[in-house]
Amino acid sequence: MKIAVLPGDGIGPEVTAEAVAVLESLALPGLVLFSGDVGGAAYHRHGHPLPEETLAMAREADAVLFGAVGDPSCDTLERHLRPEQAILGLRKHLGLFANLRPARVFAGLEHLSPLRAGIAGGLDMLIVRELTGDVYFGAKGQRTTDSGEREGWDAMSYAESEVRRIAHVAFRAAQSAGLPLTSVDKANVLETSQLWRDVVVEVSAEYPEVALDHMYVDNAAMQVVSHPDRFGVVLTGNLFGDILSDLASAAVGSIGLLPSSSLGERQTAYGTFGLYEPIHGSAPDIAGQGKANPMATILSAAMMLRHSFGMEAEAARVEAAVARALADGILGGDLGGAHGTAAIGAAVRERL
Ligand code: IPM
Ligand code: MG
């Protein structure tokens, strides 16, 4: 079971180290870990945010554990050399079109949410975000208009095959969990969204038992914080999913708690190949200080055990240990607590 560990920038190395320690303490036979450079760290060492060797290592592995990328010292580089291109390139090259971002308020931890307790308790949703299309991967550029003004542009598009395959992922998730599905778009303004909606309706014919509704993204943002209990599975495109998943995680209490998995079609000997990462970024302001909360990355490792290695029991054990640590008041600075990265990691391992 080969895992490529790509710590990346900022707090990435600190939080992935704790997730690796959790994996190691499970003493799973046959587990082999490799690590590679990615993001700004890779740019500084190899001149590219996603070096060939790193991509090759990821392809060779059965799963990738990813930290974070983003480095302010790279902000003025040409776009193709910026750290963010590493994660976008991995998603694209590895065909990881399905991004699963579960967001839920842990029972008993409603007080960590900025939402009122009566509202927060209802937050338990799975965001299924399309990850390799949309305005993220369309043509883009800057140009000078006829009137001599600078103009930036990014093309948004979705092919029906792209919508169909992510819709199937969301419908299957809704079906197996017995949850309703909400497809989020902006069909009142965007043609891309109109096609998205039409294709989702077509796919829904194959899942008659899943209750489907459609919501405009602005309304969805409002509902996530006012009536989160109305969501089960949320299906959306790349850009809207990026925004809604940060919103949902902040509503849980902290972006430091939420894991994600990015899956494609490739099957390995153990399960589905995937990339697992916290949904938070590199947080350069607290990097290297031992303050970052590693729970999102530890929970991402749990998702890896479940989806890429078929180890449901071990995944549940890790998740339970995190929940117990939270319930015992092991809180990082992101949650108003004083526990540092290493202390949180140790507390989770003690509770495994
Ligand atoms: C995320 C991040 C990335 C994205 C960035 C780092 C390119 O915000 O995974 O949500 O926008 O997808
Ligand atoms: Mg994001």
| Sign for the pseudo-dihedral over CA of 290, 319, 258, 338 | negative
pLDDT digits (tens, 9 = 90+) for 104-154: 998 778 888 999 989 999 999 999 999 999 999 999 999 999 999 999 999
Residue 173: which of 233, 90, 237, 249 has the closest Cα?
A: 233
Q: Do domains 1-97+259-352 and 110-252 have the same CATH topology?
A: yes
- Determine the straight-line distance between the first and last CA of the chain, rounded to whole angstroms: 21
Please answer whether residues 309 and 62 qualify as being in contact, where contact means their C-beta atoms are separated by less than 8 angstroms.
yes
Atom of ligand 1 nearest to the CA of 242: 10
> In which band, very low, low, confident or very high, does the pLDDT at 39 lie, cut at 50, 70 and 90?
very high
| Those residues with Cβ within 8 angstroms of residue 184's Cβ, 6 or more apart along the chain or in another chain | 214, 215, 216, 217, 220, 234, 235, 236, 240, 244
Q: What is the mean pLDDT of the chain?
A: 96
Q: What is the average pLDDT across 216-231?
A: 97
Residue 130 CB less than 6 A away from ligand 1:
no
Q: In CATH, what class is 110-252?
A: alpha beta
Asked if residue 124 has its Cβ within 6 Å of ligand 1, the reply is no
Mind telling me the catalytic residues? 136, 186, 218, 242, 246
| Closest CA to ligand 1's atom 10 | 242
84 C-alpha vs ligand 1 centroid, how far in Å? 7
What local confidence, expressed as pLDDT, does residue 107 receive? 79
CA of 279 from ligand 2 middle (Å) equals: 6
State whether the beta carbon of 87 lies less than 6 angstroms from ligand 1. yes
Best of 71, 80, 88 for a ligand 1 pocket test (most atoms within 8 Å of beta carbon): 88
- According to the model, what pLDDT value does residue 112 have? 86
Q: Which ligand is nearest to the CA of 39?
A: 1
Domain ranges of the chain: 1-97+259-352, 110-252
**Rounded to two decimals, what is the model's pTM?**
0.94
The token pair at 153 is 């542009």
Mutation pick for ligand 1 pocket among 131, 238, 242, 260 (CB with most ligand atoms within 8 Å): 242
Closest CA to 287 of 1, 8, 11, 7: 11
Nearest Cα to Cα of residue 151 among 140, 166, 135: 140
Mean pLDDT is lowest, of 141-150, 236-245, 249-258, 299-308, for 249-258
3-state SS of 264-316 is EEEECCCCEEEEEEECCCCCHHHCCCCCCCCHHHHHHHHHHHHHCCCCHHHHH
Cβ 71 under 6 angstroms from ligand 1: no
Confidence of residue 156 (pLDDT cuts 50, 70, 90): very high
**Residues 3, 326 contacting (CB under 8 angstroms):** no
260 alpha carbon to ligand 2 midpoint, in Å? 11
Domain 1-97+259-352 in this protein, CATH class: alpha beta
Share of the chain above pLDDT 70, in %: 100
Ligand 1 atom 12: residue of nearest CA: 242
* Residue whose CA lies nearest to ligand 1 atom number 11: 242
Give tens-digit pLDDT for 71-106. 999 999 999 999 999 999 999 999 999 999 999 998
